[in-house]
Amino acid sequence: MKFLDQAKIYVRSGNGGAGSVSFRREKFIEYGGPDGGDGGRGGDVWVECVDGLNTLIDYRYQQHFKASTGIHGMGKNRAGANGEDVTLRVPIGTQILEEDNETLIADLTEVGQKVLLLKGGNGGFGNAHFKSSVNQAPRRANPGLEGQEKWIWLRLKLIADAGLVGLPNAGKSTFLAAVSAAKPKIADYPFTTLHPNLGIVQIDTRSFAIADIPGLIEGAHEGTGLGDRFLGHVERTRVLLHLVDGSGVEDPGEAYEVVRGELEAYGNGLSEKPEIVALSKCDALTDEMIAERSASLEVACGQKPLILSSASGLNVDRALRMILRAIDKDKQDEANQVPSKPEEGWHP
């Protein structure tokens, strides 16, 4: 299945059905009177968050969604049927934005969430609705109200507990493949990962989700390389694991600063998230090189980096436990920030 995390679509709710102008005409009924029924309501447009989806690829092949028009009213006081609704099914983590791609309409983060996007037009009244003692034979009926229409953006942001960031070829996909059942593409050239990957990690009877995104390079916030749009998939994470290639770069400290600069340029609180820094691919380094490059990285990041090798398994479990502790700490801090509701006194 191809991965698509952004789509622009057109939605339109249904028009209301028109009311009917009709009179009762039967043999031996001298004064039949008006019996025109009301029109049916137009269909609504809904967006529903469902399980089992992880991409917006369905909206690449169909971009227009229109609800049905309400059925017109008929004689014998028969009201028209309502138009059928249209329901857009999206994966967990989908945001709905206006056509400007900035104004947020809804953020669907749980299975079962349902949002009314556009309401269908009301059906028109038939002439039976307008009868009165002074107007016993009304010859008018209301047309149905028109539906609403708009262009919207759907943007998917994966929901994961931890995110992997770093330069291209820093070992992010190798780490994800080593700790989960995910099978990302792994090769010895930059930008092997072209779309985000999600894996479920199990450690010490606990499990959490981890997201791997394409590598960042200097100037990504200006569109260089694959850009920084994929950083949206780690916005919802609680902790970042920053991997710095120990064998492919001469100055790990400089490589660290490049990625941190891109996180700060992207904004949205990414640079403020808890961060675990690791020097990866250490199985290809000598002890002297590890000490030298670890010291350079420590000066840049202000913390002692973790010596890591996904290929040999060096400190992989330790990294996962560090991530798990950071996730638990963030959850605890979040719980402490929620103000408790004051108890309401009894009122007669």
DSSP 8-state secondary structure symbol assigned to residue 86: E
Distances (CA, A) of 247 to 244, 285, 296: 9, 7, 13
pLDDT at 47: 97
Rounded-to-integer distance, Cα 76 and Cα 134, Å: 22
Rounded-to-integer distance, Cα 303 and Cα 300, Å: 8
- Phi/psi of residue 235, nearest 5 degrees: -65, -35
The annotation status of 191 as a binding-site residue, yes or no, is: yes
What kind and span of H or E run contains 120?
none
The annotation status of 196 as a binding-site residue, yes or no, is: no
| Residue type at 83 in one-letter notation | G
| 3-class SS of residue 177 | helix
| 322-329: long-range contacts, CB 8 A cutoff, minimum separation 24 | 322/276, 323/161, 323/162, 323/208, 323/210, 323/239, 323/241, 323/276, 324/203, 324/204, 324/206, 324/208, 326/162, 326/238, 326/239, 326/274, 326/276, 327/161, 327/162, 327/208, 327/238, 327/239, 329/274
| Residue type at 189 in one-letter notation | Y
- Phi/psi of residue 261, nearest 5 degrees: -65, -40
The annotation status of 213 as a binding-site residue, yes or no, is: yes
The CATH code for residues 162-336 is 3.40.50.300
pLDDT tens-digit readout, 144-165: 999 999 999 999 998 899 999 9
DSSP 8-state secondary structure symbol assigned to residue 144: P
**Residue among 194, 195, 161, 200 nearest 181 (CA):** 200
Indicate the Cα dihedral angle 58, 59, 62, 66, nearest 10°. Answer: 120
pLDDT at 41: 97
- Angle subtended at Cα 108 by Cα 107 and Cα 112, rounded to the nearest 5 degrees: 155
Rounded-to-integer distance, Cα 233 and Cα 217, Å: 17
The annotation status of 311 as a binding-site residue, yes or no, is: yes
Distances (CA, A) of 337 to 89, 237, 275, 332, 340: 33, 18, 21, 9, 9
Rounded-to-integer distance, Cα 207 and Cα 324, Å: 9
On the 0-12 / 13-18 / 19+ scale of CB atoms within 10 A, 69 is buried
Contact residues for 89 (Cβ-Cβ < 8 A; gap 6+)? 48, 50, 53, 58
pLDDT at 342: 54
The annotation status of 172 as a binding-site residue, yes or no, is: yes
The annotation status of 330 as a binding-site residue, yes or no, is: no
Rounded-to-integer distance, Cα 337 and Cα 295, Å: 36
The annotation status of 199 as a binding-site residue, yes or no, is: no
The pTM score is 0.81
| Residue type at 161 in one-letter notation | D
The annotation status of 168 as a binding-site residue, yes or no, is: yes
Q: Which two tokens stand for residue 242?
A: 């920053």
Chain centre to alpha carbon of residue 132: 54
pLDDT at 340: 55
In the chain, CATH 3.40.50.300 covers: 162-336
The annotation status of 214 as a binding-site residue, yes or no, is: yes
The annotation status of 282 as a binding-site residue, yes or no, is: yes
Which CATH class for the 1-157 domain?
A: mainly beta
| 3-class SS of residue 67 | coil
> What pLDDT tens digit does each residue of the chain (348 aa) get?
467 889 999 999 999 999 999 999 888 888 889 999 999 999 999 999 999 888 899 999 999 999 999 999 999 999 999 999 999 999 999 999 999 999 999 999 999 999 999 999 999 999 999 999 999 999 999 999 999 999 999 999 988 999 999 999 889 999 999 999 888 888 878 778 888 888 999 998 899 999 998 888 888 877 777 777 888 888 989 999 999 998 887 889 999 999 999 999 998 888 899 999 999 999 988 899 999 999 999 999 999 999 999 989 999 999 999 999 999 999 898 888 766 555 555 555
In the chain, CATH 2.70.210.12 covers: 1-157
On the 0-12 / 13-18 / 19+ scale of CB atoms within 10 A, 187 is exposed
The annotation status of 237 as a binding-site residue, yes or no, is: no
pLDDT tens-digit readout, 306-316: 999 998 999 99
252-266 and 287-301 are packed helices; what angle lies between their axes, rounded to 10 degrees? 30
The annotation status of 104 as a binding-site residue, yes or no, is: no
